[in-house]
Amino acid sequence: MKSPDKSQFSLLIVDDNKENLKVVSNFLKNEGYQIALALNADDAQNILNENKIDLILLDVMMPGTDGFTLCKKLKSNPSLSETPVIFLTAKTETSDLVEGFEAGGVDYITKPFKKEELIVRVNNHINLAYAKQQIIEQAEQIERINRTKDRLYSVIAHDIKSPFSNISMLISTLADGYLEPGSEDYNEILQSINSSSNETYALLENLLQWTRSQTGNLEVATEEIRLSELFGNIIRITDPIALKKNITLEMDVPADLVMEADNNMMRSVIQNLISNSIKFTREGGKVQAEARKKGGNIIIKIIDTGVGISEKNKKKLFVDEGQLTTRGTNDEKGSGLGLLLVKDFVQRHDGRIDIESKEGVGTTFILTFPS
């Protein structure tokens, strides 16, 4: 495990003696730490309320609230309970030291200070805090990878296996010669195979991108994108799906509108939102994609005349809660990954996503990006 960068750690020194503050702060500043100073418990509390402090050096004998009392108060605060406290004390009786540890201290340094001892003790506890944080982050990463793995297996088992089985069955029907080539039934099966293949490919693409984003293997590679070209390509891909439901698919994007973004991520964002709107729009409806530059932002809207989204379901759209999916107006399936990808990719571009929706009337997804 690599050593911590001391400049990234903030220490709070609390002592009513200004000379002691000066000596201790000079020693630790020279080590590279960021230093905050307090002359009493109230000042210390104010600093802790407004700043992230990684370690506290706390004088025991102070007027008003003493160090032991302050330490107990800090340890009762959930946001500060894990912050290590080293007592600065001239009291070396065993009973005093025990009281300090019982109050929540992790160590003590006796007055007058010895520079070497002070630095070694502080460094040791900062190293321990850093190691603990690394372990927590690694545990969170392992948990995230396990969730990704479970989701991956679940999608493969349910959402990919099923359409592949359907495709295989349809192909077998044609291969066995039960239907006359060119007949209405024959052509209908071909259309079903084509539709299922496209939906499965889109699902697989979402799954692969989502897996890469969750495991940290996806980087943003920005370039200048002409949005009219990007939208045009997506419309050509999704138009056949819209035509099957007799949905009008329109685009309103100025030819000269450009933005700096990762082309693959933006394509995934827009394609997922348009596909989602088609999925939840009834036959004969309309989906419109538009983009504008407004002030210092680029605003992208995907507007549909679909079934709308309830206030309750709005809160669930961008939350990964496992296999919570909704079928489309023509019973279209989905994995629930598309909107998770949209949220992730929008945030990676420092963007924001908002939703305006009314049940039975339609939904508008609004993306705001800094231009």
Q: What is the pLDDT of residues 156-181, one digit of tens each?
A: 655 566 667 778 878 888 888 878 88
- Give the burial class of 47: count Cβ atoms within 10 A of its Cβ; 0-12 exposed, 13-18 middle, 19 or more buried: middle
> Does the pLDDT of residue 368 top 60, yes or no?
yes
**Token digits of residue 294:** 């407004």
| pLDDT tens, residue by residue, 25-84 | 999 999 999 999 999 999 999 999 999 999 999 999 888 888 999 999 999 999 898 899
Q: Check whether the bond before 84 is cis (ω within 30° of 0).
A: no
Mean pLDDT for 95-113 is 85
Binned at pLDDT 50, 70 and 90, residue 278 comes out as very high
Kindly report whether the global pTM for this prediction surpasses the value 0.85: no
Q: Give residue 134's pLDDT.
A: 86
Binned at pLDDT 50, 70 and 90, residue 352 comes out as very high
DSSP state of 4: P
- Give the burial class of 116: count Cβ atoms within 10 A of its Cβ; 0-12 exposed, 13-18 middle, 19 or more buried: exposed
Q: How far is CA 40 from CA 13, 59, 117, in A?
A: 10, 9, 24
Question: Residue 258 forms beta bridges with which residues?
Answer: 226
Highest mean pLDDT among 72-76, 151-155, 240-244: 72-76
Binned at pLDDT 50, 70 and 90, residue 285 comes out as very high
When comparing pLDDT for 161 and 342, which is higher? 342
CB within 8 A of 343, min separation 6: which ones? 318, 353
Strands 222-226 and 34-38: unpaired
Q: Give residue 323's pLDDT.
A: 42
| pLDDT tens, residue by residue, 206-222 | 667 767 776 666 678 88
Q: How far is CA 238 from CA 184, 233, 252, in A?
A: 24, 9, 16
CATH numbers and ranges of domains, the chain: 6-113 (3.40.50.2300), 143-216 (1.10.287), 219-371 (3.30.565.10)
